[in-house]
Amino acid sequence: MEYLSPRSDEFLKSKGRVTTLGMFIIDHYAIRDENGNEIMTEEESIGGGGVFAMISARMFLPPKQCGLIIDKGYDFPQKFINTLKNYGEEMIWFRNRPDKTTRALNIYSGSKIGEGHQSFKYLSNRINLFPNDLILNPSTPFINENENNLPEYIHLVCNIERAKLIINEIKNINLKEINKINNKIWNPKLIWEPMPSSCISSEIENILEIISNFLIFSPNLIELQSILGITSSSSNNSKNNPTKKDVENSIKILINLFSKKYENTNIPCIIIRSGELGSYTFSKNWKGWIPPYYDFNKQYKVIDTTGGGNSFLGGLAAGLLISNDDMRIASIYAATAASFTIEQRGLPSLSKSPDGERWNDDDVWRRLRELASRVEKVNSDQP
């Protein structure tokens, strides 16, 4: 299987950046005491789906091949600046803002962070990112006259309304011909991770209307079933857990709905993230399962799944760039990236060794190749 080792500098010079329109968030946490009262903790951490996505893309790419905009308020902790710069200063653009950094509260129903049901609310103003932020004045450091480093893949985690705004803004950029940067036409490939608030059956028509604008559409299984208004049909499962058949049937329903309504329109690649089952990729060129790196027997290695889905899609974007849009290969990159994020709370650590970079003290390329060998076995009976 090709593309399972770092690509040459010469190859990467011909490629653009992997970027995100997800915002940076400082996360705060609240738990419940024995009487159910909300208690604020003192902990704060780096958050935001875009951050997890880009750090995961960085696992496989040099910093200059990634792009992360961070709107930094006057209250931005120095420790977070140090942590982020360790991943590579070339990938981060700190933009100063006059007010507070975007902050959010994660509220858990249990007595510990990560325990029980989670709810979420913003504590300060948000600054949503749009395509113009990546390429237009005030000049972004992501544009270099001497290199082809325009954003080539853009990850977005957003609701339907904002997804439409992003699509229209790119169309307007093309219409006004302001996308001719360095004498190159900008035609980025979009990876949409829909927000849970948009994954409801009443939004199905709106979703079908816009998904052809994306290279990748990737809800998780619960979100897809909510969009379709269905539940898992596995009655022979004592725990009522979903099965692979449930995942594949859900994708078939979505595709049939789309095909009936838009007969002459190409459907994007659909990747369904399904927890312990792994992920299922449905594309023109390949359909199949990618097992999770930590299977049912190694779930004790999973510490916190927060950011796992975001990391999956960041790794996917890196894999797409490296493999020239090979969906099978890219899906293996995705699952590998997610495995590093769920091993601890927060972002994975990056360190240097005589043998190269180490993430959580492991070699990402070794883990990637290990997972690839397992994928061969899982899908050996598929065409």
| pLDDT per residue of the chain (383 residues) written in tens, 0 to 9 | 679 999 999 999 889 999 999 999 999 999 998 888 999 999 999 999 999 999 999 999 999 999 999 999 999 999 999 999 999 999 999 999 999 999 999 899 888 887 888 888 999 999 999 999 988 766 567 766 556 667 999 999 999 999 999 999 998 887 776 555 556 677 899 999 999 999 999 999 999 999 999 999 999 999 999 999 998 775 445 567 899 999 999 999 999 999 999 988 889 999 999 999 999 999 999 999 999 999 888 888 888 888 999 999 999 999 999 999 999 999 999 999 999 999 998 999 999 999 999 999 999 999 999 999 999 876 665 54
Buried b (16+ CB within 10 A) or exposed e, 56-80: bbbbbbeebbbbbbbbbbeebeeeb
**Domain residue ranges of the chain, discontinuous segments joined by +:** 9-22+49-101+130-378
Do residues 146 and 44 lie in contact, with contact meaning Cβ atoms separated by under 8 Å?
no
Do residues 260 and 248 lie in contact, with contact meaning Cβ atoms separated by under 8 Å?
no
- For residue 167, the Cα-to-chain-centroid distance in whole angstroms is 18
CA 95 to CA 97: how far, in whole Å?
A: 6
Residue count of the chain = 383
CA distances from 70 to 84, 92, 116, 338 (A): 10, 7, 30, 22
Residue with tokens 């992360």: 68
CA 363 to CA 349: how far, in whole Å?
A: 12
The secondary structure of the chain in percent helix, strand, coil, rounded to multiples of 5, reads 40, 20, 40
Quote the pLDDT of residue 118: 80
Q: Residue 231: which residues within 8 A CB-CB, separation 6 or more?
A: 225
Q: Residue 354: what are its φ and ψ, rounded to 5°?
A: -60, -20
Q: What token pair was written down for 199?
A: 């994954």
Do residues 28 and 40 lie in contact, with contact meaning Cβ atoms separated by under 8 Å?
yes
Q: Residue 344: which residues within 8 A CB-CB, separation 6 or more?
A: 303, 304, 360
Quote the pLDDT of residue 120: 86
CA 230 to CA 226: how far, in whole Å?
A: 6
| CATH architecture type of domain 9-22+49-101+130-378 | 3-Layer(aba) Sandwich (3.40)
Quote the pLDDT of residue 380: 61
Q: Are strands 103-108 and 25-32 parallel, antiparallel or unpaired?
A: parallel
CA 82 to CA 350: how far, in whole Å?
A: 12
CA 312 to CA 279: how far, in whole Å?
A: 10
Quote the pLDDT of residue 235: 46
